[in-house]
Amino acid sequence: MSKFENVSVSKKANVYFDGKCVSYSLELPDGTSKSVGVIQPSSLTFTTSAPEIMELVAGEAKVTLAGDSTPITYRAGESFKVPGDSSFDIEVVDTMHYICHYG
């Protein structure tokens, strides 16, 4: 799928880590929530409240999930799952465009 149809988009951006990560919240007609955004090259730690699937649309990142010691490299077209009430470290190597699927 290259685009979402009939969505509600939050007007205000979610800006994290001094602007290194910027996203917008979406709500689909069925009530599903997602966010779409960009992370600039950096090393960051994110926490989750709900389970997430991070889908890389463009770019490259090395991801280490909580409890793991070895990072895994993900590229455009790939995704990774993060449990709820958890965290992950991410080293963005090449500007990453992503879709975060919640739940």
> Model confidence over 66-100: pLDDT tens digits?
999 999 999 999 999 999 999 999 999 999 999 99
Strand ranges, E, within 1-103 = 8-9, 14-16, 21-27, 33-39, 42-48, 52-65, 72-75, 79-82, 86-102
Categorize the per-residue pLDDT at 2 as very low, low, confident or very high, splitting at 50, 70 and 90: confident
Backbone angles phi, psi at 49, to 5 degrees: -105, -40
Q: Which CATH class is domain 8-102?
A: mainly beta
Portion of the chain with pLDDT greater than 70, in percent = 99
Give me the amino acid identity at 59.
G
The whole-number average pLDDT for the span 60-65 is 98
Q: Where are the domains of the chain?
A: 8-102
How many other CB atoms sit within 10 Å of the CB of residue 35?
A: 17
Are 66 and 94 within 8 A, CB to CB? no
Torsion sign (Cα): 90, 83, 99, 79: positive
Categorize the per-residue pLDDT at 103 as very low, low, confident or very high, splitting at 50, 70 and 90: confident
Q: What is the C-alpha separation between 91 and 93, in angstroms, rounded? A: 6
pLDDT in tens, 4-24: 999 999 999 999 999 999 999
